[in-house]
Amino acid sequence: MSSDIDELRREIDIVDVISEYLNLEKVGSNYRTNCPFHPDDTPSFYVSPSKQIFKCFGCGVGGDAIKFVSLYEDISYFEAALELAKRYGKKLDLERISKDEKIYVALDKVSDFYRSSLLKNKEASEYVRSRGIDPKVVKKFDLGYAPSSEELVKILKESGLLEVYIETKNLISPTKGVYRDLFLRRVVIPIRDPRGRVIGFGGRRIAEDNSPKYINSPDSRVFKKRDNLFGLYEAKEYIKEEGFAILVEGYFDLLRLFSERIRNVVAPLGTALTQNQATLLSKFTKKVYLLYDGDAAGRKAMKSAIPLLLKAGLEVYPVYLPEGYDPDEFIKEFGREKLKELINNSEEVFQLIIKTAEENFEEKTKEFRYYLSFVPDGVKRFALASEFHTKYKVPMDILLVKPEKIPQEGNIKLSFKEKVFLKGLLEMKPKIDINALDLSPTLKGLALKALNGEDHLLPKEVLEYNVDNLEKLFNGILKDFQKCEKKKKKDLKNVNT
């Protein structure tokens, strides 16, 4: 359902609105002027009529027409919306503004705070620089830094957004009324939905301590990790232009490639690729290159991503970096052109297998059949099988049979406890020894798949299962499984003595 504010956004024109305040000069399809929000003689302030947004490439500030008025007049976003509605003779009922709408405004506010804090923090901006991130990319992605929980809470309180922001779970509350920023003292990477709205954050530790290297916003009503891709909003025009997307493993891989002017890049959100992410990507392109780390973990992750991408109807091109290199290290040593060359020379996954099957025939045939079973288009599946058959004389009916039965809904009946356990493994990837738990053989098999990131081999009811307090429930269930195993061992000992 579209909200009143959405309607207002559609009705007003950002060029009209900003022209009332500033003299805009037309350049190509955009407009520009000196930025009113920082001392600027370049002009670095741009307005895009097609996207209906403004963006300053000097200080990084940006947003829609309502946000411009709110910043310029120094009033809240909703006051600015009211003001504009009045000017345009539209009715706007503030009571009817949805909670989601407010959460987006709160997230944008927090992102602005992080962005302006990065410039002020030497250690954080030095960290970003040391990772080879171009200043233009820092601004494009609004990279930030989380300096202080107190300041953050103060800003949210002042704009009446603290209450809705709590729903994002980006604040930790150890005691009632006390809040700690989840991203405190981290470099922060805003994550946007395809419309460009900030929906969550990723945070990179910059101190060498024992805290996790990366953390992400927990899932909430506006942020679902499984359903969004990092960089899609920023990359989608380039993906269209190039005719393909490059999928990388992490935030900094993507930011590095952007810094090398390779911009048709997306990444999953701190976990293994999901089916929903693959499907989302397929709405923007039909061709994807997988550029993962050149090590065992990277190749394994690639192997579990391929079926999901194929299932989404994408043509998949695995790119193999030399052993021990990640994309950044490869560029540092061989340069950007060599990386582009490596990508351009990479072969489509089925063609690659057909070409190299002789080297390890049994294994490659199995792999071919396995991947083939995910191609949704029957005609294409048949054509690929024929190609393999013609070259290697493997009977068609063998090629077209699934090598491993993939559990489908209804095949396995899982209890609540088992579902929570598998979902927990999938989402949190804890470091535990599955063999030390008391699990049925079926559950153990699924648990190993969940830990290996082989999402596609898990029942749909697990993938789509949503539960509040997953972590707490999971830990309780884990303890149960551990206890049972200990008791069993003890009983066994008693029998033996």
Residues at the contact surface with Zn ion, assessed by CB under 5 A: 35, 37-38, 56, 58-59
- Which C-beta is closer to Zn ion: that of 116 or that of 220? 116
DSSP character at residue 426: H
CA–CA distance, 452 with 463 (Å, rounded to integer)? 14
CA–CA distance, 134 with 132 (Å, rounded to integer)? 6
CA–CA distance, 15 with 357 (Å, rounded to integer)? 58
User: In the numeric block, which tokens belong to residue 464?
Assistant: 């789509």
Count Cβ atoms within 10 A of the Cβ of residue 162 and give its class: 0-12 exposed, 13-18 middle, 19 or more buried.
middle
- Which C-beta is closer to Zn ion: that of 125 or that of 228? 125
Phi, psi of 246 (to 5 degrees): -110, 125
DSSP character at residue 357: G
With tokens 């207002």, the residue in question is 8
Shortest reach from residue 34's CB to Zn ion, in Å: 9
Shortest reach from residue 64's CB to Zn ion, in Å: 16
- Which C-beta is closer to Zn ion: that of 38 or that of 311? 38
Phi, psi of 264 (to 5 degrees): -95, 55
H/E element, 151: helix 149-158
CA 54 to chain centre: 24
Shortest reach from residue 30's CB to Zn ion, in Å: 15
- Which C-beta is closer to Zn ion: that of 56 or that of 118? 56
Shortest reach from residue 37's CB to Zn ion, in Å: 5
- Which C-beta is closer to Zn ion: that of 37 or that of 238? 37
Angle between helices 4-11 and 77-87 (to 10 degrees): 50
Q: Where are the alpha helices (DSSP H) in 377-440?
A: 378-392, 396-399, 416-428
Shortest reach from residue 467's CB to Zn ion, in Å: 44
Which is nearest to 307 in space by CA: 247, 372, 351?
Answer: 372
- Which C-beta is closer to Zn ion: that of 37 or that of 370? 37
Shortest reach from residue 121's CB to Zn ion, in Å: 19
- Which C-beta is closer to Zn ion: that of 65 or that of 92? 65
- Which C-beta is closer to Zn ion: that of 59 or that of 343? 59
CA angle in degrees (0–180, nearest 5) for 298-302-304: 120
- Which C-beta is closer to Zn ion: that of 47 or that of 245? 47
Shortest reach from residue 134's CB to Zn ion, in Å: 18
Count Cβ atoms within 10 A of the Cβ of residue 112 and give its class: 0-12 exposed, 13-18 middle, 19 or more buried.
buried
Shortest reach from residue 141's CB to Zn ion, in Å: 16
Which is nearest to 470 in space by CA: 438, 422, 411?
Answer: 422
Yes or no: say if 288 and 317 are a contact pair by the CB < 8 Å rule: yes
Shortest reach from residue 114's CB to Zn ion, in Å: 16
Maximum C-alpha span of the chain: 91
Q: At 489, which amino acid appears? A: K
